[in-house]
Structure 1
Amino acid sequence: MKKKLLMAASVFLYGLCSSAQEVNYEEYDLDNGLHVILHQDNTAPIVTTSVMYHVGGKDRTEGRTGFAHLFEHLLFEGTENIEKGKWFEIVASNGGSNNANTTQDRTYYYEVFPSNNLKLGLWMESERMLHPIIEQGGVDTQKEVVKEEKRLRYDNSPYGQFLPELGKNLFDKHPYKDPNIGYMADLDAATLADVIAYNKKYYVPNNAVLVVAGDIDLPNTKQMIKDYFGPIPKGEEIVRNYPKETPITAQKNAKAYDSNIQIPASMIAYRTPGFKEKDAYVLDMISTYLSDGPSSKLYKKMVDDQKQALQVGAFNISQEDYGMYVVFGLPVGETSLETLTTEMEEEVEKVRTSLISEKDYQKLQNKFENQFVNSNSSVEGIANSLARYYLLYGDTSLINKEIDIYRSITREDIKEVANKYLNPNQRLVLEYLPAENTAN
């Protein structure tokens, strides 16, 4: 009876995913190369206007890291027609909210407004693209903002340096070796001319996608987009030719120190393929299998049963060119980091050497079906997904069919991918230690 109920639930969920979650959209290009995606949803009087630029932390030259993150802040400074410091005030006073974020691969700006303020949202984003005011005073101000953010989120936050340390040790040549936020010495050394040149190169219509989602009228929206964004000049073609990494063929060992922690951590990391590869989707499934929830393999074994770890987990950090697959543990009591590493490797080895059970496989499929159902539950989320799938994956239709990639993954695929990327001779073992241990 249990099996029949599980099968019935799976069939129902599959049907729900196949129909109810279909996202309709229209996409086209302006003459200047700006890609436009429109999603009409008139169920609520709200609209999201967003622009994603194909520029992130990796887009830099040596000695000039962190520019994309600096621009995340700098392009709120003001424009020729928006007074300095008034951006957030204008948005809030018109019933809206806005934000921005930057990864190693892209920068995303968005506003959420009552739908009667669509014109305002489009105008503001066109102003950001066409008329930003970049001057020394604003650059200096935002450098200090970035420094404070670095102190808060990285320098003075427990375990705040573990991602930069992993990047530094996993990559030798590719810009992923440097933190997205950059090095403060690089920002201090940057000239106004450097910053202006960066803006001219990357923040151009042919390096961006505009998404408008929500309560819109399509013909009127298209006309406004043409009026506001059509006159913006096309930029020069951007050529990316980042160096390829030499495969890791022998275990790498490293140590890092953090003055904000008392409990050390053991971290195992592997260099993996970029997120467009099917193998990256398989690695998502492996991380869910190993560490998603208290019934997962790592948690049940090392936290519940053996009482060795205060916390343990595995996650796949998806990036455009290379990913990072990370397994980590924080010890309990006298448990050594070496013991944690051994026990974590034991669970990874099981995935490499034998097929996961049919029951565990079905649980994985159900979890990813559920994630898919929830992923497009808001207009704001849909706007982000449409921009990301177009700009980074080159396939907007993934918003509706990405779940089919997960559905196509077999137990044999999981074993094969684990064997391909998650071997001891392909890994970095990082001991993340309290700073006072530096003398030992």
Structure 2
Amino acid sequence: MKTRHLFCTAVSALALCVAAPALAAPVATTVAVTQAPSTVTVPPLGYQQRTLANGMQVYTRNDPTSANVAVQVWYRVGGKDDPSGRSGFAHLFEHLMFKATENVPNETFDRLTEDVGGYNNAFTAEDVTAYHEMVPANHLERILFAEADRMGTLVVDEANFVSERDVVKEEYRQSVLSNPYGRLFALFAPATFFKEHPYRRGVIGSIEELESASLEDVLRFHRTYYRPDNAFLIVDGNFDDAQLNRWVDQYFGPLKNPTTAIPVRTVTEAKVTTPEDHTFYAPNVPLETVLIGWHTVPANHPDVAALSVLDGILSTGESSRLHRALVYEAQAANSASSSPDFMKEAGTLSAYAMMSPGHTLDEGKALLEREIARLRDQPVTDAELIEAKNELIASALSEREGAQGRADVLGWALIKTGNAATADNAVANIQKVTAADIQRVARQYLTPQSQITMRYLASTDEHPTTPQSVNMESPVKVADLAPMGTPSVTKPEGQRTPIPQAGAEVSPATPAIADFRLDNGVRVLVAQNNQLPLVSARLTFKAGSAYDPQGKAGVASMTANMLTQGTKRLGAPEIATQIEQLGANIGAGAGRDQFNVFASSPANVFGQTMDLLSEIVRQPAFSAEELERQRTQTLDGLKVALSQPGSLASMATTRLNFGDSAYGNLTTERTVTAMTTDDLAAYHANYIRPDQAILTFSGDITPAQARELAQKAFGDWRSTTVPPAAAPNIPASQQAPRVVVVNLPGAGQAAVSISSRSITRTDDDYFPLALGNTLLGGSYSSRLNNEIRVKRGLSYGARSGVGAMAYSGLFTASTQTKNESADEVVDLLLEEIGKMSQSVAPEAELAPRRAIMIGGFGRSIESVSGLGSLVAELAAYDLPLSELAVYADRVKAVTPEEIQAAFADKLPTDRANVVVVGDASMFIDDLKAKYPNVEIIDASDLNLDSANLR
């Protein structure tokens, strides 16, 4: 199922699916339509609304069942409002809003959110910049104070401005330059779809125009757009209504609007009346891609619903037309999808295909055009119509889970259409769509005459990288911005308005977990959450990739992929159709220790979802034809992964630390090619068995209902007579640490990874290392991120993880940076890791880390999937379920001395491996000066089948 807003979806890049050779006409499904349009009720959002005297709109929704509260401030300013010569400016400004105000010192926003167990973030799109926080409910007043203060008195100095501009450059390098498809979707597509409208400039901007921005520009931009009458506030969660209104009046009411008007743009994009064909080149593009697209309608247009259902029929799920025609039947593309993007002032719909090797872009274009023509030439079937509607309604239900989700849905409705009712009306409008509506909008908007085609290929000497378009004019000029005025400065401590104190703590409720077994040994766990009519099931087996046959790494993952590709009764297309008719989500995956099969759906069809889950798990076909499709998809996916610095660094890190052991084996071209259907069947027989199964239900389901469903689905399942497999052999020792550089010429960034063996999940040091890691690199305000991103602007983010598993663990600290600073970042990572074992962290620094862990846990148990995942993990590692109730106590009990001792014993830096993947010509000399034993391996020579990497 696609994740989408019903009225707002951006073009998305990598969605790798299947492929292999030949062209074939589409085959109609043979599955009868058994599922009527969904009768599940999507509850209305139910917000209260009022407008302050200064024009700011306020939307509130009280949820007394939660221990948290979501606060969001949405500003009606986005990439389209960037002045000429300042593309990326709205996005740059998003970063600067997290700095200081007159009363809130620098970097305090993380102290008010992360450090009390919540989080904060923001995003910028074409039409909006939005800021959101989720905090324990007793911290609501403090967040309202801070949000109002940064709206009215933001402080930006030259140092912060330069630092955050550098961070944005690294974000650009990471998401655009080092992602093989970043240029296509973030830069080339917008600039090609729009010739006049400022939507043509990528929201993230360009390095050149970011460099041209000045501090004065920033201050003028803030005065122009960050004002009460250009914003709305959303508050959702646990609060007292009257008290909230008083706080809103107290903090936001006094804010004034500037006397200057918000700049008005009057650009209208001309209709495309003649087909266009464009070709672009970029480095490290593993699969050539063709994209076709059309202008459609803005988000407030009545045809949004019909176009959304059309898109669902075209590309949602494996039963969709594009996947069926291009990937499954013609086997010409690795991935084929579509996306409608309904913005405030314009809209587009695009369809793309990432071609499998041996297939041309012309072939992909012809196949895409054939499927679009079918929508114009004949009505869609009743089955397709029902399926698409059910999927969209199920998606709408999932999006409304939790305070943050509900607020997001409302915010997008307000930004896109200016009408809060749009969010609630969207589902009803979807239900009204007919086959005739879909054919009408296909004929009206998706015409050959208005089609724009984009071809995307790897650059060569003959076809160098296509430059990004810059210096595109905009209706808004820097001169149109409000005067800078007197810049705000942070007041001396004694003169600041004090940040409000937190209120009385609201404790999250830990649900009781039902725990019983079926007669055949299946353990059943039930975690009830009745907030929405959603149910999830997770079937966990103590298996995973550590149990792959020798020399055939990836068998567990391939077995998981193949479960939905055919049973003894149903073929892959029929399975996909049934899943999507239900509006369900069913899939499987294999980690190192566990094999998981999962299912979720609206509660009213969960019984049917469980029937299908049972058949998929118990009766897989493992056909040779489907294995070949999955094999090709996996090989193409590997090509994409091996073109990206981050993925390459992760794979090399795994091999360096675990060598040829069961945890070190990697899925490679060699192992994928060696797999047979007999391997999959043997793995399934040995490991996917009731006596090794844990079935976890979560959501709107009672223990009695769960028992009945479990018994029906798995009660008569009998185990194989083969004894359960022995635990994999993971040698305790590791080889001498190495420093390895993988040279990837043309890489947009360098990926840096520091790693070493870690601990098991049941190790006594688990909580000391987990809490210590939260301090080191487990959050935005961690030491690593502070040193590398906040202080030096060398990365978009730096992080670390303990990586505890059943028989060992893998600690990693990693980031991506511009190639030139790779050696500096290696030093910074090692230095911060070393400090963890060299000195005791002050309790004042640890207290916020405890809140981060406990707060994240509390948010998880409030969601259906999060609650089920936590319960399943405890059971999979044979930990008592009582750990759920004492989690906070375990975190609070950790001492600073225990953290230092655990890092010194388990994660000393003298056992660390160093991996750097990037364009070595830009950093190798500096790295060699510090590490004379550095090994340099060209990416083309890297051998991931060998512990030696050669």
TM-score bucket (shorter structure): over 0.9
Counterpart of 1:58?
80
Counterpart of 1:132?
154
Please point out which of 249, 254, 259 is paired with 2:283.
Answer: 259
Q: CA deviation at 1:347?
A: 0.5
Question: What is the CA deviation profile of residues 229-263 of structure 1, one whole-angstrom value per residue up to 9, with x for unaligned ones?
Answer: 11111234324323111111111111111102122
1:358 aligns with 2:395: no
Cα distance in 2, alignment partners of residues 289 and 232 from structure 1: 48
Which shifted more, 177-186 or 109-118? 177-186
Question: What is the CA deviation profile of residues 102-130 of structure 1, one whole-angstrom value per residue up to 9, with x for unaligned ones?
Answer: 10100110111111111111111112111
Q: CA deviation at 1:195?
A: 1.3
Q: CA deviation at 1:391?
A: 3.3
Counterpart of 1:95?
117
Letter matched to residue 165 of structure 2: K
Question: Per residue, is there more helix in 1 or in 2?
Answer: 1
Please point out which of 385, 388, 404 is paired with 1:380.
Answer: 404
Counterpart of 2:144?
122
Counterpart of 1:194?
217
Q: CA deviation at 1:284?
A: 1.7
Cα distance in 2, alignment partners of residues 37 and 391 from structure 1: 13
Q: CA deviation at 1:326?
A: 1.0
Counterpart of 2:560?
none
Cα distance in 2, alignment partners of residues 319 and 12 from structure 1: 30
Cα distance in 1, alignment partners of residues 280 and 224 from structure 2: 36
Letter matched to residue 218 of structure 1: D
Counterpart of 1:213?
236
1:431 aligns with 2:455: yes
Please point out which of 97, 100, 123 is paired with 1:75.
Answer: 97
Cα distance in 2, alignment partners of residues 341 and 155 from structure 1: 25
Q: Structure 2-normalised TM-score?
A: 0.44
Letter matched to residue 333 of structure 2: A
Counterpart of 1:229?
252
Q: Please list, as runs of the form range in 1=range in 2, the aligned pairs for 1:137-216 lying within 5 A after superposition.
A: 137-163=159-185, 164-216=187-239
Which shifted more, 233-242 or 296-305? 233-242
Please point out which of 298, 301, 305 is paired with 1:277.
Answer: 301
Please point out which of 278, 294, 299 is paired with 2:323.
Answer: 299
Cα distance in 1, alignment partners of residues 264 and 412 from structure 2: 18
Q: CA deviation at 1:354?
A: 0.7
Cα distance in 1, alignment partners of residues 139 and 78 from structure 2: 29
Q: Secondary structure at the match of 1:68?
A: helix
Which shifted more, 231-240 or 116-125? 231-240
Per the alignment, do residues 428 and 4 of structure 1 end up closer, same or farther by CA in structure 2, a change over 3 Å counting?
closer
Question: What is the CA deviation profile of residues 62-102 of structure 1, one whole-angstrom value per residue up to 9, with x for unaligned ones?
Answer: 21211110111000011122221232133222221111001
- Higher RCO (C-alpha under 8 Å, 6+ residues apart): 1
Please identify the structure whose Cα radius of gyration is greater. Answer: 2
Cα distance in 2, alignment partners of residues 238 and 406 from structure 1: 35
Structure 2 unaligned spans of 5+? 1-30, 465-950
Cα distance in 2, alignment partners of residues 191 and 151 from structure 1: 21
Counterpart of 1:240?
264
- Root-mean-square deviation (Å): 1.7
Please point out which of 132, 142, 163 is paired with 1:110.
Answer: 132
Q: Secondary structure at the match of 1:273?
A: coil
Cα distance in 1, alignment partners of residues 32 and 290 from structure 2: 39
Q: CA deviation at 1:11?
A: 6.0
Cα distance in 2, alignment partners of residues 347 and 382 from structure 1: 35
Q: Secondary structure at the match of 1:269?
A: strand
**2:307/2:441 contact within 8 Å kept:** yes
Cα distance in 1, alignment partners of residues 53 and 460 from structure 2: 59
Letter matched to residue 6 of structure 1: Q
* Aligned length, in residue pairs: 432
Letter matched to residue 366 of structure 2: T
Cα distance in 1, alignment partners of residues 333 and 414 from structure 2: 41
Counterpart of 1:6?
35
Q: CA deviation at 1:390?
A: 2.4
Counterpart of 2:373?
349
Q: CA deviation at 1:57?
A: 0.3
Structure 1 unaligned spans of 5+? none
**2:68/2:237 contact within 8 Å kept:** yes
**Superposition misfits of 4+ residues, deviation over 3 angstroms:** 2-5, 437-440
Cα distance in 2, alignment partners of residues 390 and 347 from structure 1: 34
Q: Secondary structure at the match of 1:407?
A: helix
Q: Secondary structure at the match of 1:295?
A: coil
Per the alignment, do residues 191 and 356 of structure 1 end up closer, same or farther by CA in structure 2, a change over 3 Å counting?
same
Q: CA deviation at 1:184?
A: 2.1
Q: Structure 1-normalised TM-score?
A: 0.95
Q: CA deviation at 1:348?
A: 0.3
Counterpart of 1:45?
67
Letter matched to residue 39 of structure 2: F
Cα distance in 1, alignment partners of residues 131 and 461 from structure 2: 42
Q: Secondary structure at the match of 2:101?
A: coil
Cα distance in 2, alignment partners of residues 80 and 339 from structure 1: 60
